[in-house]
Amino acid sequence: MGWNRKILRVDLAGGTCREEPLNMEWAQEYLGSRGLATKYLVSEIDPRVDPLSPDNKMIMATGPLTGTMASTGGRYTVVTKGPLTGAIACSNSGGFFGAEMKFAGWDMIIFEGRAPKPVYLHVENDRAELRDASHLWGKSCWETEETIKHELQDPLVRISSIGRAGENQVYYACIVNDLHRAAGRSGVGAVMGSKNLKAVALRGTKGVSGIRDFGEFMQATNAAKKVLADNAVTGQGLPKYGTQVLMNVINEIGALPTRNHRDVQFEDAGKISAEAMHEKRPSDGKPQLVTNAACFGCTIACGRISEIDKGHFTVKNNPKYWGASGGLEYEAAWALGAANGVGDLEALQYANLLCNEQGMDPISFGATVGAAMELYEMGVLTQEQIGLEAPFGSAAALAKLAEMTALGEGFGKEIGLGSKRLCTKCGHPELSMTVKGQEFPAYDSRGIQGMGLAYATSNRGACHLRGYTVASEVLGIPVKTDPHVTEGKAELVKAFQDATAVFDSAGICVFTSFAWTLADVQPQLAAACEGDWSMDKLNAVGERIWNMERQFNNAAGFTAKDDNLPPRLTSEPAKTGPAKGMVNHLDRMLPEYYQVRGWTPEGVPKPETLSRLGL
């Protein structure tokens, strides 16, 4: 078995921690992590619950491969009802926290209720207790991690925490672990803040036991690692250039959302690209990039560790930001840069550091700044309201708004609402570049048609990691498809969505899928877990998880009308590049998608579909 068969249930209101057996019947149907935690959540909460009320629950979960020697087996997920969207939220993070949970003997931790005062959870193998966190409230994620390690006198304790953004319930606050990895999207950090839960500190020394067939597992994981090493993308491209290498690619194909999606190409894309991070700066003769980095058990190592220019205006009087730290990854660089027209690489890294330090999703933050800048340029928002000049392209405005939002000061509180609430408040909901309230990531769906469908139907709102058809439409993985056509995209999106649900639920990184297919994951799961883990079973598990999430959203009040894109993407043609003149044709793809999914024209899973999937 790849599971520890043990859940920790934490009643924050009562201050108690108790052990429960993992429901092994559910584990056979939902695998682990995203799938299994979602099964628990949908079974335990009212879908219409206020996400920031004590009645919402939050689950931190590992998968059967988390903590094992499977490559990238360090992932954990946070599952809850998301405040940004009101939909199911499932945010996935790497680093070392997930593996530590497994080593301490737990598969998942379920948090219920709200603590009467700030607390943190300390787990040391079988022992779990809630501790006072009054002294941590108001501290950043970085300070919290340092303080807890100091007071526990244990430098090896692994910590996930919220910063000021989570405390202030910024709608896109995230949960940061290991200083710069994050369960980033949908506002899971705001849920944690609403529960008065500052941090979770784990120490596990048990290792992972109970692999079904250890010899077979060694063989399967070694074979799969060889596939990653031999593949030019996962073996060379990602370690060397990281995800940031996409900046120039996506700009070249005319799908780099720029200035709140007004444009699809950014004239300064090269200045904020992976190539730019490798170039020596004129100011100090050093490149921003220091090294790459790997999460637990990862043989790809795509992470970026950078050092900001000490003389840059954002940090020249603030030495605490001078050390090497996480970033920039592609999504953050895009959202903080192209999305608001800022081409200053150092300013982007500064805003990125603030997001890591105080726990904010840089995608939603950057995209919300982009919306605010458009409203400013239209004269809807004024300098007096914002407290500063905020035209597109202003690195100073980006840096200041990052500080204000992270600390909950002035107009930062408005930016903390997210783009949908901000634009609606300003009378221009059409300018919010969101689906189901969540901001788009770094691909414009006018130039990559399948991504429009993937965004519109993503169960957690606009997201690239629910069905990354960019792999096929742009990069040719596993096969090249034309990004400008809609034909075949319904099947493609469904295939990516279902397969990704399995990768996520196994406890591994979805980036392995640049080299692996489910056929590479299957032998690893079959060797680790008892039960039938055939390809047919995995395909069914992925589809079951997707439909379960959909059912939750439908019960929460979402309908087919919410499977939509902002009018800008379906009615304002791309102005430049190879997709010039194009809009996204969601209307052509969505009905076919519902059909392929076995849903009614209203986007509701048909009884026979639910019956086939055992839902």
Partner 1 sequence: MKIAFKLFASLSDYLPAGSRDNRIELDVDEGVSVAEMIRRYQVPERSAHLVLVNGLFVPPAERSRRRLQEGDEVAVWPPIAGG
Examine residue 211 and tell whether it contacts partner 1 (CB under 8 A): no
Task: Select from 3, 120, 321, 468 the one that contacts partner 1 (CB under 8 A).
Answer: 468
d(CA 455, CA 30): 23
Report in angstroms how near the CB of residue 49 gets to partner 1 at its nearest: 31
Report in angstroms how near the CB of residue 492 gets to partner 1 at its nearest: 16
Selected range binding partner 1 among 158-166, 189-197, 229-237, 556-564, rule: CB under 8 A: 229-237
d(CA 570, CA 380): 24
Task: Select from 410, 578, 591, 598 the one that contacts partner 1 (CB under 8 A).
Answer: 578
Report in angstroms how near the CB of residue 475 gets to partner 1 at its nearest: 6
Task: Select from 451, 471, 527, 560 the one that contacts partner 1 (CB under 8 A).
Answer: 471
Binding-residue total with partner 1 (CB under 8 A): 41
Selected range binding partner 1 among 121-129, 208-216, 233-241, 318-326, rule: CB under 8 A: 233-241
Selected range binding partner 1 among 34-42, 201-209, 463-471, 529-537, rule: CB under 8 A: 463-471
Pairing, β 197-203 against β 158-161: antiparallel
The first and second tokens of residue 614, run together, are: 């055992």
Contact string 558-577 vs partner 1 (x = CB under 8 A) = -------------------x
Report in angstroms how near the CB of residue 453 gets to partner 1 at its nearest: 18
CB within 8 A of 355, min separation 6: which ones? 174, 332, 361, 362, 365, 402, 406
**25-29 long-range contacts, CB within 8 A, separation 24+:** 27/3, 27/64, 28/531, 29/541, 29/544, 29/614
Examine residue 286 and tell whether it contacts partner 1 (CB under 8 A): no
Examine residue 301 and tell whether it contacts partner 1 (CB under 8 A): no
Burial class of residue 249 (count of CB atoms within 10 Å of its CB; 0-12, 13-18, 19+): middle
3-state helix, strand, coil in the chain (%, to 5): 45, 15, 45
Beta-bridge mates of residue 289: 306
d(CA 535, CA 513): 15
Examine residue 478 and tell whether it contacts partner 1 (CB under 8 A): no
For the chain, what is the largest distance between any 2 Cα atoms, rounded to a whole number of angstroms? Answer: 67
Beta-bridge mates of residue 561: none
Selected range binding partner 1 among 52-60, 220-228, 370-378, 509-517, rule: CB under 8 A: 509-517
Task: Select from 138, 270, 488, 598 the one that contacts partner 1 (CB under 8 A).
Answer: 270
Beta-bridge mates of residue 20: 7
Examine residue 229 and tell whether it contacts partner 1 (CB under 8 A): no
Selected range binding partner 1 among 62-70, 291-299, 324-332, 383-391, rule: CB under 8 A: 324-332
Please report, as residue ranges, which positions from 25 to 44 form the binding site for partner 1 (by CB under 8 A). none
Examine residue 226 and tell whether it contacts partner 1 (CB under 8 A): no
The answer to whether 39 touches 67, Cβ cutoff 8 Å, is no
d(CA 34, CA 463): 15
Task: Select from 156, 223, 232, 324 the one that contacts partner 1 (CB under 8 A).
Answer: 232
Selected range binding partner 1 among 31-39, 328-336, 418-426, 535-543, rule: CB under 8 A: 328-336
d(CA 464, CA 496): 11
Complex with partner 1: residue 150 or 278, whichever CB lies closer = 278
Report in angstroms how near the CB of residue 233 gets to partner 1 at its nearest: 5
Please report, as residue ranges, which positions from 332 to 371 form the binding site for partner 1 (by CB under 8 A). none
Examine residue 464 and tell whether it contacts partner 1 (CB under 8 A): yes
Please report, as residue ranges, which positions from 237 to 256 form the binding site for partner 1 (by CB under 8 A). 237-238, 240-246, 248-249, 252-254
The first and second tokens of residue 589, run together, are: 């793809």
d(CA 570, CA 259): 17
Examine residue 236 and tell whether it contacts partner 1 (CB under 8 A): yes
Complex with partner 1: residue 278 or 320, whichever CB lies closer = 278
Complex with partner 1: residue 287 or 429, whichever CB lies closer = 287
Left, alpha or beta for 404 (phi > 0: left; psi -120 to 50: alpha)?
Answer: alpha
d(CA 300, CA 284): 30
Report in angstroms how near the CB of residue 71 gets to partner 1 at its nearest: 16
Contact string 513-532 vs partner 1 (x = CB under 8 A) = -x------------------
Question: Cis (ω within 30 of 0) for the bond into 429?
Answer: no
Selected range binding partner 1 among 91-99, 153-161, 402-410, 468-476, rule: CB under 8 A: 468-476
Helices (H), 188-324: 188-194, 214-230, 232, 238-241, 246-252, 274-278
For residue 83, the surrounding DSSP H or E stretch is none
Complex with partner 1: residue 514 or 546, whichever CB lies closer = 514
Report in angstroms how near the CB of residue 514 gets to partner 1 at its nearest: 4
Edge-to-edge, what's the strand order for the sheet holding 6-11? 16-21, 6-11, 108-112, 58-62, 76-81, 88-93
Complex with partner 1: residue 429 or 578, whichever CB lies closer = 578
Examine residue 465 and tell whether it contacts partner 1 (CB under 8 A): yes
Examine residue 500 and tell whether it contacts partner 1 (CB under 8 A): no
Task: Select from 171, 172, 330, 533 the one that contacts partner 1 (CB under 8 A).
Answer: 330
Examine residue 156 and tell whether it contacts partner 1 (CB under 8 A): no
Edge-to-edge, what's the strand order for the sheet holding 289-293? 289-293, 303-306, 325-326
Complex with partner 1: residue 220 or 264, whichever CB lies closer = 264
Examine residue 296 and tell whether it contacts partner 1 (CB under 8 A): no
Examine residue 605 and tell whether it contacts partner 1 (CB under 8 A): no
Examine residue 267 and tell whether it contacts partner 1 (CB under 8 A): no
Examine residue 331 and tell whether it contacts partner 1 (CB under 8 A): yes
Pairing, β 119-124 against β 303-306: unpaired
Q: Residue 439, SS3? A: strand
Task: Select from 60, 70, 101, 274 the one that contacts partner 1 (CB under 8 A).
Answer: 274
d(CA 224, CA 297): 13
The answer to whether 323 touches 315, Cβ cutoff 8 Å, is no
Please report, as residue ranges, which positions from 110 to 129 form the binding site for partner 1 (by CB under 8 A). none
Please report, as residue ranges, which positions from 538 to 557 form the binding site for partner 1 (by CB under 8 A). none
Whether the CA torsion 440, 444, 450, 453 is positive or negative: it is: positive
Question: Residues interacting with partner 1, by CB under 8 A?
Answer: 231-234, 236-238, 240-246, 248-249, 252-254, 270, 274-275, 329-331, 464-465, 468, 471, 474-477, 480, 482, 510-511, 514, 577-579
